[in-house]
Amino acid sequence: MKRIVPIILLLLLAFFLLSAIKINFGQPKTGLSQYYLNHGVADTGALNIVTAIYLDYRAYDTLGEATVFFAAALGVFMLLRKPGEGEKD
């Protein structure tokens, strides 16, 4: 009995993972990507659509990602510095 429960759980997990992969994998859920392609240059003035999406349409996401990256880098710096470094006697 102790061996059957993990096997059943693994089979259920495999079923759910395979069904998640099978459902419209790789197909866009909305027409937003087509909008970006059709209106990106006119809306943003950027000839590179990746740059237009990254810096204009998704600017707040980019700002949030940069803030998280800065906080993580600052945390690593604080953890790796030597005790008393930078203090004046």
Q: In the chain, what's the furthest Cα-to-Cα distance? A: 68
Cα dist from 38 to 28, 32, 33, 50, 56, whole Å = 15, 10, 9, 13, 15
Q: Residues 23-73: pLDDT tens digits?
A: 766 676 778 888 888 998 898 888 898 888 888 888 888 889 899 999 999
pTM for the whole structure: 0.44
* Token code pair at residue 65: 């990602």
* pLDDT in the model for residue 76: 95
The Cα–Cα gap between 24 and 21 comes to: 8
